[in-house]
Amino acid sequence: QVHLVESGGGLVEAGGSLRLSCLASGSIFSFSGLAWYRQAPGEQREQVAAITRGGSTTYRDSVKGRFTISRDNAKNTVHLQMNRLKPEDTGVYYCFLDMGQEYYWGQGTQVTVSS
């Protein structure tokens, strides 16, 4: 059983930066995909960024040029660097792991961007 733990969320002013981290408790070297999702109150959860096993990345249009997803294989960790944050980036951010036959979600970390 793989457990994901997010960290790095908080309150930041518009234009500021945050770096989210997701630590996996078990080996995920054979993963299919890793992604960050976010969910604002009353809205559906949406994918923000994703990275495949081969290293290809995709981003939601609204965060392109501002967010960067990366993986540290040695530390079994995936990061989301968020720059030039906007109030509309506010929400609970979740780490997601696709192992092909298994799926895992983190507990989420709150990101609040003040205007």
Res 2: pLDDT? 87
Where do we find the tokens 């249009």?
A: 61
Q: Is 88 helix (H, G, I), strand (E, B) or coil?
A: helix
Residue 45 sits at φ, ψ, to 5 deg, of: -70, 135
31 pLDDT more than 90? no
The single residue listed with the structure tokens 């895992």 is 104
Give how far Cα 46 sits from Cα of 28, 34, 56, 106, Å.
23, 14, 19, 15
What is the per-residue pLDDT across 41-96, written as a single tens digit (0 to 9) for each? 999 999 999 999 889 999 999 999 999 999 988 888 999 999 999 999 999 999 99
Q: Which pairing describes strands 91-98 and 109-114: parallel, antiparallel, or unpaired?
A: antiparallel
Report the sign of the C-alpha dihedral through residues 88, 97, 68, 23, in that order: positive
- Please tell me the predicted confidence (pLDDT) of residue 26: 78
Answer with the residue of higher pLDDT: 6 or 74. Answer: 6
